[in-house]
Amino acid sequence: MQKPVVLIPAYEPGEQLIELLEKLKEKELDLVVVDDGSGEDYAGVFEKARQYAQVLEHPENRGKGEALKTGLSWIWQHVVEPYVVVTADADGQHSPEDILRVAEEASAHPEELVLGSRKIDRSVPLRSRLGNTITRYVYRLSSGCRVYDTQTGLRGFSCRNLPFMLEVRGSRYEYEMNVLMAWARQGRKIREITIRTIYLEGNESSHFDTVKDSWRIYREILMFSGSSLVSFLADYGLFALFYALFSSLALSAALVAANILARILSATLNYTLNRRAVFRAGEKVSQSLPRYAALAVAILILNTLILRLLTALGLPALAAKILTELSLFVLSWTVQKRYVFRERHEGRPKRKEVLS
């Protein structure tokens, strides 16, 4: 097995962190802890942590995603390859044995992201059980990949994937979901192994803000749904208007003409909303617009074919329009996310030195 480096982001941790570090150090693992702006009240905990781990500090709380990136940057600059990185939580929910198992799997499968997946049953607090279930299905819908425990913080990967992990955007809890999305977009395999399910005191130590952090996690798919709804209403209204104006034409001619004109206008609106509000693309219009135009033409052709098929089967034109749009929703989201509005990369750190 390649050398494991365990990275633990910590915000206002308890003694569980020290207990975990003690047990991991007994197994002769390299440990990195990031104090994410916990403050003076927790200085004693981190002073103890320095006996076992390299401790990095944020002067103020910046979020779990930023804490992970700070630790990953330090590892990338200071640790000699080859090695595997395992991220774990500071609240005692991950056992040393499971951390080692994830490290072994990551070492054996260097091209894959290894997740330590918990069994989500009735022993899990309701808030966590509900959140994991919702996130699982949102992730499956938006990525096309099946992952059982999307919210696990116990993850392992080879050092060769570390620069890629540093390019994923996100500062807080959404970073971990963005990692899964980025991994899926590139067609990389995600491997899950079952770990113990440990929740201490009903998971009261969690700093997850149900409203704010859920919004960060689900923001993109919800915003895309909203922009799609606005664009659909514009498209539907324009289609109904043009269809009425072309009522003197043959049915098929009226359908095609109304659909094309409505799609051109609504696609312009959709592009503007998605570029500025949903994906917040960093690329110039000259780069993303041609890709969107190609997608819009393909969607228009499919849209028209499906619409004509449904009306030929006897479905009323306006009802057929609704079914057609719904059938193309996921395709449109996937292509726009993966190819049209590509992510802004934050830039990988330069390796300055390496220490054994």
Tell me which DSSP letter residue 159 carries. G
Q: Give the closest residue to 147 by CA, choosing from 106, 114, 110.
A: 114
Residue 101 belongs to some domain of the structure: yes
Task: List beta partners, residue 54.
Answer: 32
The reported pLDDT for the residue numbered 202 is 45
How many structural domains are present in the chain?
2
Same domain membership, residue 146 and residue 92? yes
Same domain membership, residue 224 and residue 197? no
Q: Which residue among 208, 230, 257 closes a domain?
A: 208
Same domain membership, residue 23 and residue 91? yes
Q: Which residue among 180, 208, 236 closes a domain?
A: 208
Residue 353 belongs to some domain of the structure: no
Q: Give the closest residue to 156 by CA, choosing from 92, 94, 66, 91.
A: 94
Q: How far apart are CA 113 and CA 157, in angstroms?
A: 5
* DSSP output for 28-96: T-EEEEEEES--GGGHHHHHHHTTTSEEEEESS---HHHHHHHHHHHHHHHBPSSEEEEE--SSS-S-H
The reported pLDDT for the residue numbered 163 is 92
Same domain membership, residue 224 and residue 193? no
pLDDT tens per residue across all 356 residues of the chain? 899 999 999 999 999 999 999 999 999 999 999 999 999 999 999 999 999 999 999 999 999 999 999 999 999 999 999 999 999 999 888 999 999 999 999 999 999 999 999 886 665 555 556 667 777 777 777 677 888 888 899 999 999 999 999 998 888 878 888 898 888 878 889 999 999 877 555 445 455 555 555 556 566 666 756 777 788 889 889 989 998 998 888 878 888 899 889 988 988 888 887 777 666 555 567 777 888 888 888 888 898 899 889 988 988 888 888 888 888 876 776 777 667 776 544 444 555 444 44
Residue 58 belongs to some domain of the structure: yes
Which tokens in the block code for residue 261? 């004109």
The reported pLDDT for the residue numbered 70 is 97
Residue 189 belongs to some domain of the structure: yes
Same domain membership, residue 174 and residue 28? yes
Residue 266 belongs to some domain of the structure: yes
Same domain membership, residue 229 and residue 193? no
Residue 178 belongs to some domain of the structure: yes
Are 270 and 297 within 8 A, CB to CB? no
Please give the distance of CA 110 from its chain centroid, rounded to a whole number: 21
Which tokens in the block code for residue 131? 């959140």
Residue 79 belongs to some domain of the structure: yes
Same domain membership, residue 189 and residue 225? no
Read off the CATH number of the domain in which 113 is found: 3.90.550.10
Are 85 and 162 within 8 A, CB to CB? yes
Phi-psi region of 92 (alpha: psi -120 to 50; beta: other; left: phi over 0): left
Q: Which amino acid is residue 213, in one-letter code?
A: D
Same domain membership, residue 238 and residue 177? no
Q: How far apart are CA 188 and CA 136, in angstroms?
A: 18
Same domain membership, residue 188 and residue 46? yes
**Cβ contacts of residue 300 below 8 Å, gap of 6+?**
259, 260, 263, 267
Q: How far apart are CA 37 and CA 34, in angstroms?
A: 9
Strands (E), 127-200: 155-158, 190-195
Strands (E), the chain: 3-10, 30-36, 54-58, 83-87, 113-118, 155-158, 190-195
Same domain membership, residue 133 and residue 27? yes
The reported pLDDT for the residue numbered 139 is 76
The reported pLDDT for the residue numbered 120 is 66
Which structural domain, as residue segments, surrounds residue 317?
219-340
Same domain membership, residue 101 and residue 12? yes
Helix (H, G, I), strand (E, B) or coil at 195: strand
Q: How far apart are CA 148 and CA 135, in angstroms?
A: 9
Same domain membership, residue 281 and residue 157? no
Q: Which residue among 145, 174, 208 closes a domain?
A: 208
Residue 354 belongs to some domain of the structure: no
Q: Which amino acid is residue 247, in one-letter code?
A: S
